[in-house]
Amino acid sequence: MDDKNSRLKIQTSRSGHPVPQLDEIYLHSVYNPIKEAASFADSQMELIKRKPNILILGLGFGYHIQEIISLQKVRFNNHKIVVIEPNKELVQMYKEHFHPNFEIYCYDTVAQYFEDINFTNYLTLKPTIIKHDPSFNTNKDFYVNFLTYRAPNKIDSFHHLLNPIAKGMLESSSRTLDESLVDVSERQHINSKSEYFLFALNAVARSAQEKI
Amino acid sequence: MKKVLITCLRNESDTIESSQVINSFIKYNPKSHITVLCYKDYYQSAKLLSGVHEVTTIDRDRVNHLLSGELYSDAFAINSFTQSLNSILSTKWDTIVNLSNDEVSAYLAPLISPDEIIGTYISDVGSALTSNKWAMYQNFVSDVDTYNTIHPIDIRHHMMGIPFANDSQSTLVKMENDFATLAAQKFSKIRSQKSGRANIIGICLSHPETTKTYMSIDSLIEIVDTLRLSDHFIPLLITNGSDTEKDIVSQLNHRDNSIISVNADTAALPSVIANLDALISQPNKALSLAQCLDVLTIEVKPPAVKGNVYQEGSFSIHLQEEDSSFHDDALFLLNSVSDSYLPMESQNSNNKVYAIVKDEYSTFRTLVRGEQNTTFEVLYNIQRCFNFTMMGYPINEDLISDIRAHIPNEKLNSIIDFSRDEIIVTSKLLLKTIRSLKSIEQASNGLEFFVQNLDELISRSHNQLIESSAIALFEGRIENIKGLDRDKNLKEIEKFLFQLKSDLHNLSLIFEKLTRKEEVKNINL
């Protein structure tokens, strides 16, 4: 059975708000999820005021996210919240109840997140990361894998992500970029345009590292 | 229409400086479509270049960030890079010019495969090939030329085979009309603050691109206060708006907050600089712009940084140390060009102050203030004379006469004797290399012995000797050997060894002319 898509029910809290229940675990307070979310956001204040961009691990039913957004609005003109949530059913249910004012990324595997260029672009902004504990605990393996992810670096593992021009420039191979460069250096002969391309790419990266 | 791609992938100042060469190129090749390739971080400066039809950029920060981050797939860095190059890769280029002599361009040029490459590019065996002798000079000799005898702008003109276009009507950098009009109005108002027509002296606070050192704050305070109190000068600070420079502005405004400061972005900077009567600056983009706009420039050059000034009439203060004071040098220069009398603390200087002058060979520098290190100045001039001779020019007889007229014979002889001793060592090594080349077949380790001698000879190019430039050029010639036939290649190397011998002979000839005995008698009289 797929952990993420275990029985998901929507209950109503004492305060009248919908609260998802996943495998007997409530993702928010059954009494007052709004109050709980405000308290949660307060506890994360140091992280929230650091940067305008925040990555939240776990959608829940968005109460914690709305509190964080309201705190962000006061501090930053241009802020952005992105949420990752692997449970498709939960995302679907959330959208039936609310209209999200933040971005949600929902993929089956960890690798798929990092293969999404828009998500990657957001990560290059180095957002603050805040985890929603109830969401995190119901899918710990996924989130731990997410936080410890390292992109595969063999060319054949990412060749499918290359745009058409890049595919024409770089042949698929079981070597990494660095290994390919070493191969050429040891061979002492540049055999193809692909190899000129690799050296140029390497030199561009070094020039960025060397500038003040 | 000829499609020309000019790559400027070194730094921002270098990109702005390229305007001179581009301007000359367009004058002699008017039917050319010029595209400049530069890094995204100085796109705004590249947009200022006159005569350029298109500017394409590489976002090197993004490429590096994506490549070095373990989270990110290398695919995204590659995609970013190829997207930058898309229009370039899909164009059939007539010519690519590796103007800034950088490594990226050296790999890109053969990748793009134009009809013609000017400058340095990498061969399929990884060696640095050069399109002509001046490209070879730029790649191999410039780095070992301790005295920086030939400015990159001159080298690049020769490399591209075009004369210097000294067209005073041409504008090397673009100025937006709105900024130009506004700047002219504001500067006119500023000038009228003092009786008559005041001279506005710009002081750019920014550090050079290669270091993060700022000019001595004490010297800046002295200069600003002296100009402020004078009848005919007004100081104007040019900043980039950073916190450090804001702090410097505060310190300089310590008296009455009356000093004008301008935080101009790249688009507006030409309009600001064009209205100055002089600019005092370290080597950075403001200085390069002043040079393009023919504004009197006083360069403040820290020890570890290469100077940028090349326009005749400019000056360069070579600081003794990074934080050396220089206010008296700057005030001295302002007095000399404007017939004023700004008070100075001292008539002497620990720095070396040079004026940029010109002869029929190129611009060069001459010491106008500071304690003369005769050996250094003589060697600079001899090196310059020799480097041009090596590149096919006749020996600069005027320069030789000038040296003989101003330097006592005894001193000249002692300088030359030291250099001669080094040349003797080089010549012996050269002869040893030639002999070992001729006897390769005579011993089992003949080739190994020859290569050893060759390496030892080439390594002398890094010893800061007068003949280092000739050895570096020799190294360049060897790098450019393309064939795979061993015997043919050895014949080529032999030819180049004799070429080096000829270059060293020319150097000896220069020494001989400098120390000719019959002329010594006339001077003594």
User: pLDDT (tens digit, 9 = 90+) per residue, A133-178?
Assistant: 999 999 999 999 999 999 999 999 999 999 999 999 999 999 999 9
- Among B68, B111, B127, the strongest candidate for a mutation testing the A interface, having the largest count of A CBs within 10 A, is B111
Q: What is the distance in angstroms between the Cα of B168 and the nearest Cα belonging to chain A?
A: 35
- Cα B142 to chain centroid, rounded: 9
Q: Are B37 and B6 in contact (CB under 8 A)?
A: yes
Count of CB atoms situated within 10 Å of the CB of B337: 15
For residue B234, the cross-strand partners are: B200
Q: CA geometry: angle at A181 spanning A175 and A184, to 5°?
A: 105
pLDDT of B210 reads 87
Contact: A205, B64; criterion CB under 8 Å: yes
Q: Is A94 exposed, middle or buried (0-12, 13-18, 19+ CB in 10 A)?
A: buried
Query: What is the pLDDT tens value at each position of chain B, 525 positions in all?
Result: 999 999 999 999 999 999 999 999 999 999 999 999 999 999 999 999 999 999 999 999 999 999 999 999 999 999 999 999 999 999 999 999 999 999 999 999 999 999 999 999 999 999 999 999 999 999 999 999 988 899 999 999 999 999 988 766 568 999 988 999 999 999 999 988 887 679 999 999 999 988 889 999 999 999 999 999 999 999 999 999 999 999 999 999 987 888 999 998 999 999 999 999 999 999 999 999 999 999 999 999 999 898 999 999 999 999 999 889 999 999 999 999 998 899 998 888 999 999 999 999 999 999 999 988 999 999 999 999 999 999 999 999 999 999 999 899 999 999 999 899 999 999 999 999 999 999 988 888 889 999 999 999 999 999 999 999 999 999 999 999 988 899 999 999 999 999 999 999 999 999 999 988 544 433 332
Nearest to B173 by CA among B270, B73, B246, B278: B270
Please check whether residue A199 touches B, CB under 8 A: yes
Please check whether residue A123 touches B, CB under 8 A: yes
Sheet strands (E) in B220-351? 233-239, 260-263, 278-281, 297-301, 315-318
Put the strands of the sheet holding A8-12 in their side by side order: A8-12, A18-22, A25-26
Instruction: Provide ipTM, 2 decimals.
Output: 0.92
Contact: A165, B76; criterion CB under 8 Å: no
Question: What is the C-alpha separation between B265 and B235, in angstroms, rounded?
Answer: 19
Tell me the average pLDDT across A103-107. 97
Question: What is the C-alpha separation between B151 and B314, in angstroms, rounded?
Answer: 14
Residue B107 is nearest to which of A176, A177, A200, comparing CB atoms? A200
pLDDT band at A104 (very low <50, low <70, confident <90, very high): very high
Residue B362, both tokens: 């190129």
Sheet strands (E) in B109-247? 116-118, 120-122, 128-130, 199-204, 233-239
- Full DSSP string of A93-150: HHHHH---SSEEE--SSHHHHHT-HHHHHHHTT--EEEE-HHHHHHTHHHHHHHHT--
Nearest to B370 by CA among B349, B390, B399: B349
Question: What is the C-alpha separation between B75 and B66, in angstroms, rounded?
Answer: 9
Contact: B104, A204; criterion CB under 8 Å: yes
Please check whether residue A149 touches B, CB under 8 A: yes
Residue numbers in A near B101 (CB within 8 A)? none
